[in-house]
């Protein structure tokens, strides 16, 4: 079972990289674009045909390694 | 006093800290990260560097190394654990210290001497340093911007866990003397029981006049 995972900084955590990217976007003249936040994207496969159990294992990977819950949050979506 | 220095792939201050420990007659063993046991140690040092190439998040993968289970046990049993720079990042990733270290606010790698104030000298690592003593110690990092939730900051204050804060030469803790955007100018913190210390500055680079200063000596002397 295949999942995609997004890891992003929590709202209250400053994202200086996102800010720098936003500055460059503004320099391109794309003045309607704002509030850029940078994050991470993962895909992974879980060798378990039970969707609930597979999702739980993906969650565990997020909580234990892929995201640092002090500063980040994650979302999981089944894609195959 | 016996110390173990953990060596991860990408550690590059491991031998520097070994030299520093040995200068103070601390019997030091280098321990590869895949070991499943620790030699008998009073102190475990997690050195600076770029463990696992800083992939994913600085220190995140090193914190899951086999030997770290033993390091966590050592800390929970009251043993001393000292994380310098990448070692501090690893300690936050294991949960032995609260908070996290984010990219420097100005997105630049900073390598220079800074001043830090010893705001808590009631720890095993600082007990021979006078209270509020200002030390000149080098930093060299890209992710040293200390962040913690409001609750964690409250708890750090309540348990007197803030050990070092960035300051100017006169000891003023201000925005101007904050090199990396750290919350409350935090340069180093301990756990609640004060047997675990993490700091971004490199005291092992400041133990000999030949290296440009000796202000890091107080930490190693305190451990004796």
ipTM for the complex shown: 0.88
Give the per-residue pLDDT at B46: 98
Give the per-residue pLDDT at A18: 93
B60 to chain A, minimum CA–CA distance in Å? 7
- Using alpha carbons, list the distances in angstroms from residue A23 to A20, B38, B108, B143, B185: 5, 49, 16, 21, 26
Q: How confident is the model at residue B95 (pLDDT cuts 50, 70, 90)?
A: very high
Taking an 8 Å cut-off on Cβ atoms, the answer to whether A70 and B64 are in contact is no
Give the per-residue pLDDT at A23: 93
Interface check for B60 against chain A (CB to CB < 8 A): the answer is yes
Say which range, A14-23, A38-47, A66-75, B159-168, has the weakest mean pLDDT. Answer: A14-23
Interface check for B76 against chain A (CB to CB < 8 A): the answer is no
Average pLDDT, chain B: 97
Give the contacts of B222 (CB within 8 A, at least 6 positions apart).
B123, B124, B125, B126, B127, B128, B129
Please give the structure tokens belonging to residue B215.
């202000």
Give the per-residue pLDDT at B131: 96
Distance from CA of residue A40 to its chain's centroid? Answer: 5
Contacts of B98 in chain A (CB under 8 A): 70
What are residue B27's DSSP bridge partners?
B2
Calculate Rg over the CA atoms of chain A: 16
Taking an 8 Å cut-off on Cβ atoms, the answer to whether B100 and A17 are in contact is no
Give the contacts of B57 (CB within 8 A, at least 6 positions apart).
A68, B89, B93, B100
Taking an 8 Å cut-off on Cβ atoms, the answer to whether A13 and B147 are in contact is yes
* B60 → closest Cβ in A13, A20, A68: A68
B176 to chain A, minimum CA–CA distance in Å? 18
B181 to chain A, minimum CA–CA distance in Å? 10
Evaluate whether A9 touches A61 at the Cβ level (below 8 Å). Answer: no
Distance CA B109, CA A61 (A): 30
Distance CA B189, CA B192 (A): 9
Interface check for A80 against chain B (CB to CB < 8 A): the answer is no
DSSP state, residue A31? T
């Amino acid at each position: 079972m295949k999942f995609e995972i997004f890891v992003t900084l929590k709202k209250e955590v400053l994202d200086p990289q996102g800010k720098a990217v936003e500055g460059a976007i503004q320099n391109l003249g794309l003045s309607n674009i704002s509030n850029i936040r940078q994050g991470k994207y993962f895909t992974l496969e879980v060798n378990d045909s039970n969707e609930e159990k597979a999702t739980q294992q993906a969650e565990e990977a997020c909580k234990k390694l892929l995201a640092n819950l002090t500063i980040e949050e994650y979302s999981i979506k089944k894609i195959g | 006093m016996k110390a173990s220095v953990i060596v991860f792939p990408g550690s590059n201050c491991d031998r520097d800290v070994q030299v520093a420990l040995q200068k103070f007659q601390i019997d030091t063993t280098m321990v590869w990260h895949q070991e499943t046991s620790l030699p008998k140690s009073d102190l475990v040092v997690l050195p600076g560097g770029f463990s696992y190439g800083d992939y994913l998040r600085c220190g995140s993968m090193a914190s899951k190394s086999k030997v770290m289970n033993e390091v966590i046990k050592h800390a929970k049993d009251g043993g001393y654990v000292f994380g310098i720079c990448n070692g501090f990042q690893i300690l936050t990733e294991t949960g032995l210290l609260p908070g996290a270290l984010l990219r420097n606010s100005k997105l630049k790698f900073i390598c220079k001497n800074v001043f830090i104030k010893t705001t808590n000298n009631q720890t095993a690592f600082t007990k021979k340093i006078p209270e509020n003593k200002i030390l000149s110690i080098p930093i060299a990092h890209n992710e040293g911007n200390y962040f913690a939730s409001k609750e964690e900051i409250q708890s750090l204050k309540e348990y007197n866990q803030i050990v070092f804060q960035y300051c100017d030469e006169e000891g003023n803790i201000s925005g101007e003397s904050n090199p990396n955007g750290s919350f409350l100018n935090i340069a180093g913190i301990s756990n609640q029981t004060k047997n675990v210390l993490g700091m971004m500055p490199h005291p092992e680079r400041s133990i000999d006049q030949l290296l440009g200063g000796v202000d890091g000596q107080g930490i190693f002397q305190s451990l004796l």
